[in-house]
Amino acid sequence: MAADPEALSRREALAAYAAGTAGCTKCRLSSGRTQVVFGVGDPNADLMFVGEAPGFHEDKQGYPFVGQAGKLLDQLLGGIGLSREQVYIANVIKCRPPGNRDPQPDEIEACESHLFRQLELIRPKVVATLGNFATKLLSGKSHGITRVHGRPQETTLRDRPVLLYPLYHPAAALYTPAMLRTLEDDFARLPGLLAEEASPPAQVIPFPVPAAMVAAPSPQEQLGLF
């Protein structure tokens, strides 16, 4: 079967953008990183995860979510019949903050154009935000993850409708059994949300109904009028 040219060009465009980002020096985090951790997965994925920032192992290996939190993410994906090759995974911040501290507002502002470009190129239907930083940035609201996790929100990112689905960050759930159970429950809704987003919207019939959409009455019906 011939490869989809749009899918191919999307892969190439994302690879070219990743190559261009590898030398980014737009913020202070460039000075302490081993490498830019751009993202990993299927450039044509319907489901994209957005975490916070690379940690120690991610910085060394160049991929997001490769430590303990990454193992948990893989397990959660496996639990809903997916692998990381079938989704796309990225972070708000592409370079490791020193000592794994929280990203600072000016660093998020400097780096967000990379994430928005990824979203533009990948065009996911569902974006699962992992933790507070991704949720607040992509929802544009200040509500914390404890309040909004597991609640899908229709939103628009770069002029495209997207279903945002906030989740706890796997690193936060690693050592908190109650949070882990909640994360598993929220994850279990993902296949249903993806199926809903994949199905075409129901036809909306405008009112008043255009004459062209109204079947002409049969002669019998016409006769019944009198």
**Residues that bind ligand SF4 in the complex, under the rule CB under 6 A:** 21, 24-27, 29-30, 36, 93-95, 107, 110-111, 114
Specify the residue, 93 or 190, whose C-beta has the smaller distance to ligand SF4.
93
Specify the residue, 18 or 171, whose C-beta has the smaller distance to ligand SF4.
18
CB of 167 to ligand SF4, least distance (A): 23
Specify the residue, 117 or 189, whose C-beta has the smaller distance to ligand SF4.
117
CB of 8 to ligand SF4, least distance (A): 26
User: Hey, what amino acid is at 40?
Assistant: V
Specify the residue, 31 or 220, whose C-beta has the smaller distance to ligand SF4.
31
Residues 6+ apart with CB under 8 A from 58: 37, 64, 65, 66, 67, 70, 96
Q: With residue 118 as reference, give the H or E element that holds it.
A: helix 105-122
Specify the residue, 24 or 171, whose C-beta has the smaller distance to ligand SF4.
24
Greatest pairwise CA separation for the chain in angstroms: 87
Residues 6+ apart with CB under 8 A from 161: 154, 155
Contact between 98 and 71 (Cβ < 8 Å): no
The DSSP call for residue 49 is E
N-term to C-term CA, the chain = 61
CB of 63 to ligand SF4, least distance (A): 15
Helix (H, G, I), strand (E, B) or coil at 134: helix
